[in-house]
Amino acid sequence: MQAPTGGEDLLLLEAPDDDLAIGLALMNRLARSVDVKTEYDGGADWSHLTPTDLDICILRLRQSTFGNHVVSDVRCRAAGCGEQIDISFGIDQYIGHHIPTRAAFRGRGWTAEPAEEPGSFRLTSATTVRKDAPPAVDVASTSRANTCPSVDKVGVLFRLPTIADLMAVAGLADADEELARKCIRGLVSVRQRRLVETAMEAIAPSLTHDLQGVCPECGAEVRVLFDPRRYCLGELRDRAAFIYQDIDVLAHRYHWTESDIVALPRIRRMNYAEAARQEGPRSG
């Protein structure tokens, strides 16, 4: 990840209100693959990743900007209470809690394994999966014992919905259907589709979840929905809002152009602007 500049601040403040598109644009500007050794030219396209990957990236960006600790204040909704409660947690802890594991498939009688085609998965009976087996399992030729017929007879193939997929179906009346058509191979029954959707959630889980706490005043359980994309972009946007004043102060003091100031790493711009505010404008 590159350090953000004023360019990212202006994007947060001025782009149309679409967190998915803004998150992707930020990631394209700041993140680059460690596998690519060439000089970064800012032209990455991460739209082939899942929304889960995007949210992890946004959480990491938030972590590098404000630190690991998140404190969210909510009001207790218990009758007659209304106490203000801080719910706090660490981003490392939150991400660690959501890392996909095979335990998500335990006891289901079926699982999902990578298929031959890169990026695709196959629903398969849990009994056909061995540790030493190649990732792709030909379910048609394996034992039928204890298998889940509706899975094994067809061997449903699917891939995970990507950011590009979500953007393509956004606003469509039948967005869910269209997403299924893009990501699930062939015609599947309602039950198979439900299994595929469960598998997708297990492999690339949504990071939007309820946070739980206990009200110190009345002892009631408190739940609040945490949407990391919305929450972290909101925080980053609040901080970005100072860019207009920073440009004004620095242009007055040093006679730098707007584009020069915008190109500064954010932290350096903020420090210059803070120093300039304390000293007042330089004469001449």
Q: Summarize as ranges the residues that interact with Zn ion (CB under 5 A).
A: 76, 78, 81, 83, 215, 217-218, 220
Nearest approach in angstroms of CB 222 to Zn ion is 7
Nearest approach in angstroms of CB 93 to Zn ion is 24
**CA-to-CA distance for 111 and 247, rounded, in angstroms?**
54
Nearest approach in angstroms of CB 71 to Zn ion is 18
Contact in structure between 81 and 220 (CB atoms under 8 Å): yes
Identify which of residues 67 and 219 has a Cβ nearer to Zn ion in the complex.
219
Identify which of residues 21 and 220 has a Cβ nearer to Zn ion in the complex.
220
**How many Cβ atoms are within 10 Å of 216's Cβ, its own excluded?**
11
Nearest approach in angstroms of CB 220 to Zn ion is 5
Contact in structure between 87 and 222 (CB atoms under 8 Å): yes
Q: Could you give phi then psi for residue 62, rounded to 5 degrees?
A: -60, -40
Strand-by-strand arrangement of the 120-125 sheet: 110-114, 120-125, 157-159
Segment holding 198, helix H or strand E? helix 190-203
What tokens were used for 6? 């004023």
Identify which of residues 203 and 218 has a Cβ nearer to Zn ion in the complex.
218
Nearest approach in angstroms of CB 91 to Zn ion is 26
The conformation of residue 38, written as its DSSP 8-state character, comes to: S
